[in-house]
Chains A and B, each alone.
Chain A
Amino acid sequence: QQQVKQSPQSLIVQKGGISIINCAYENTAFDYFPWYQQFPGKGPALLIAIRPDVSEKKEGRFTISFNKSAKQFSLHIMDSQPGDSATYFCAAGPGGATNKLIFGTGTLLAVQP
């Protein structure tokens, strides 16, 4: 119940294309869903986050789509660029007075020029 399942494990996209990464969760107590981006040798950095009271959130080229009934959420990267090549992690927070996050297994994105 504490797992967050992420797919695909790896993704190759052409420059200018759309990258889509999907995550699913079981625990309905989760109420915070961030996406983190990690470059080699660096710690993860927050990209965008959503709470279950909205179905979509957009920040620049990055969009989170959230389906509460299906317990799924996804990251869409529009106009993907080579600089977007990184590992992406979805996560879920259990709510309440904690910053504990349950992370997905990660997606290695390669954007080809």
Chain B
Amino acid sequence: KAGVTQTPRYLIKTRGQQVTLSCSPISGHRSVSWYQQTPGQGLQFLFEYFSETQRNKGNFPGRFSGRQFSNSRSEMNVSTLELGDSALYLCASSLVVGGGELFFGEGSRLTVL
């Protein structure tokens, strides 16, 4: 069974640009969550989707957005990139909503110059 797939794995952008990251969950998983991981702030929750609906959003500015498609694949977008957006962006999928095991992908490492 394939795991959570995130693309691209690495990318470099400059300040002011925007970026779109993609996540394909494990087959059959309809819940997708996104986390930002940085050395200073650790793992921070960005948002959570289930059946194409955003169920929860973390404390991030409106420049961070996401969506989920009917096939459960998800994308997140960061507009007007800032240096502080450099991070590992992790996607996790789950079979259930509410205390279910999160299966993480290997992440997309974003560097903003």
Contacts and interface: CB of A to CB of B under 8 A. Distances in A.
Interface of A: 31-32, 34, 36, 41-46, 49, 51, 89, 91, 93, 95-106
A46 B102 contact: yes
Given A98-B48, A98-B56, A104 B106 contact: no
Interface of B is mostly: strand
A93 B100 CA distance: 10
B59 to A, nearest CB: 9
B94 interface: yes
A97 B104 contact: no
Contacts, number: 67
B97 A45 contact: no
B90 A44 contact: yes
A100 B97 contact: no
Interface string B32-54: 01010000001111001000000
B4 A97 contact: no
B55 A97 contact: yes
Contacts of B44: 103
Contacts of B102: 34, 44, 46, 99, 101
Q: Please list the 7 inter-chain residue pairs (A to B) with the smallest Cβ-Cβ separation, ordered nearest first.
A: A43-B104, A103-B43, A32-B99, A105-B42, A46-B101, A97-B98, A99-B94
Contacts of B55: 97-98
B33 A99 contact: yes
